[in-house]
């Protein structure tokens, strides 16, 4: 595949953050440090949220349902133009990995703080990304990524690969559309379950089948690329502690990973980034077995929730890098990375409603307190005390 996409660069004096919550606040803190004005967007539900109070300007974009507010490309771009924003930072989730939105920003002459739309497109389809990674010399797990999606073909391929196998939605993410089939007898049941979830979550039920790695570790590498073909890695994060295939604890550097494996992981991640002319912050996710052999899973073409762990072990500010690289700074002038000599970990605080709730519910944060030890603690917060948070069943 050829990647010859021209991206917009220029001076950024005002940035719209097309998101809410923690990541919107996170971007605003760095923007303020750099002297860049920040623009917030908010729905009815977020009118009194922290990111609205922190922003230099804030614009209402609709009712609480995200399809009518944060996922509305038209509304976000209209605010970007009305506010005179030079750039849009999508954060994570919502429009951050939306190819059409990245293209629409370019068409409007607005800088999209993210990779080229071609990279978002190809890394967003698991079967396509694995073909690209294989050609780039990045290790992948053996499996079936073909177009024949009949039950008979998928079951035959599973038997050829050897059970247990992992069934995955090619457009999946966030642990959805994934099932483990441990024998031929339960393969079709697991396949249909994965398809149902994929249709509901991604409006697409195309599947791939891969060998399942027993007792795996989830190890991901933070990468960053500039607009001149350069890319670097900022070491790895171990995100193996999960609930429902979703991360709970992140550790960096990865426990028990030696310097030789660490170097190979980083070099593979850089090859992955360069294979799609990657620009900005991205994460290459690998699955690792007990022998420390690792295989490409996917690439997240955005800033990840877990990025502060990598920042803390390397002494960097990835949001600042994101803003500077879109002003045509090269990696050589950006990157002063210290070695991953210290250890950091983070924990995600997830809200789950009581089992009696089956619809969207509201909960109030009555008290928010923490102990801060100088130079060793980072709180990524997005709410005040007495803030009401919306919780929905997943």
Report the relative pairing of strands 37-43 and 14-17 from DSSP bridges.
parallel
Which residue among 243, 302, 326, 338 is the active-site one? 302
DSSP string, 249-315: EEEESPTT--HHHHHHHHHHHHHHHHHTT--EEEEEEEEE-TT--EEEEEEE-S--TTHHHHHHHHT
Tokens encoding 33: 């440090």
- CA 18, CA 14: separation in Å to the nearest integer? 13
The DSSP letter of residue 62 is: E
- CA 187, CA 153: separation in Å to the nearest integer? 12
* Neighbour tally for 225: CB within 10 Å: 23
In a 13 Å sphere around the CA of 100, the CA atoms on its Cβ side amount to: 6
Buried b (16+ CB within 10 A) or exposed e, 137-159: ebebbebbbeeeeeeeebbebbe
Classify the phi-psi angles of 70: left when phi > 0, otherwise alpha if psi is within -120 to 50, otherwise beta.
Answer: alpha
302 has catalytic annotation: yes
Q: Which residues pair with 251 in a beta bridge?
A: 238, 345
CA-CA-CA-CA dihedral for 172, 111, 41, 79, to nearest 10? -120
- CA 283, CA 96: separation in Å to the nearest integer? 13
- CA 39, CA 58: separation in Å to the nearest integer? 6
Scanning the structure block, which residue is given the tokens 């929905």?
Answer: 392
CA-CA-CA-CA dihedral for 30, 306, 20, 17, to nearest 10? 40
Catalytic residues: 302
């Amino acid at each position: 595949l050829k990647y010859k996409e021209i991206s917009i660069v220029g001076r950024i004096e005002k940035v719209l953050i097309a998101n809410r919550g923690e990541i919107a606040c996170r971007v605003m803190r760095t923007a303020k440090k750099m002297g860049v004005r920040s623009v917030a967007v908010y729905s009815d539900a977020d009118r009194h949220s922290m990111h609205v109070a922190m922003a230099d300007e804030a614009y209402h974009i609709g009712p609480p349902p995200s399809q009518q507010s944060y996922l509305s490309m038209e509304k976000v771009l209209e605010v970007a133009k009305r506010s005179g924003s030079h750039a849009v930072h999508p954060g994570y989730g919502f429009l951050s990995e939306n190819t059409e939105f990245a293209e629409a920003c370019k068409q409007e002459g607005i800088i999209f703080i993210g990779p080229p739309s071609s990279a978002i497109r190809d890394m967003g389809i698991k079967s396509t990304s694995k073909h690209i990674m294989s050609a780039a010399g990045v290790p992948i797990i053996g499996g079936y990524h073909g177009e024949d999606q009949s039950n008979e073909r998928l079951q035959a391929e599973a038997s050829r690969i050897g059970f247990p196998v992992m069934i995955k939605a090619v457009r999946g993410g966030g642990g959805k559309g994934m099932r483990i089939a441990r024998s031929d007898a339960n393969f079709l049941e697991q396949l249909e379950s994965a398809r149902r979830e994929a249709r509901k979550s991604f409006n697409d039920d195309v599947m791939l089948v891969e060998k399942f790695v027993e007792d795996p570790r989830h190890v991901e590498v933070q990468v960053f690329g500039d607009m001149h073909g350069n890319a670097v890695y900022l070491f790895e994060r171990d995100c193996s502690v999960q609930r429902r295939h979703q991360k709970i604890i992140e550790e960096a550097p990865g426990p028990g990973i030696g310097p030789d494996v660490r170097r190979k992981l980083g070099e593979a991640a850089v090859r992955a980034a360069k294979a799609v002319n990657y620009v900005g912050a991205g994460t290459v996710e690998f699955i690792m077995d007990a022998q420390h052999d690792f295989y490409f899973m996917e690439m997240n073409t955005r800033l990840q929730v877990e990025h502060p762990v990598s920042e803390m072990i390397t002494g960097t500010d990835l949001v600042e890098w994101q803003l500077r690289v879109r002003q045509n700074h090269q990696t050589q002038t950006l990157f002063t990375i210290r070695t991953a000599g210290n250890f950091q970990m983070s924990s995600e605080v997830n809200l789950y409603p009581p089992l009696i709730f089956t619809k969207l519910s509201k909960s109030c944060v009555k008290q928010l307190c923490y102990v801060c030890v100088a130079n060793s603690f980072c709180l990524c917060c997005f709410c005040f005390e007495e803030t009401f948070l919306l919780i929905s069943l997943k």
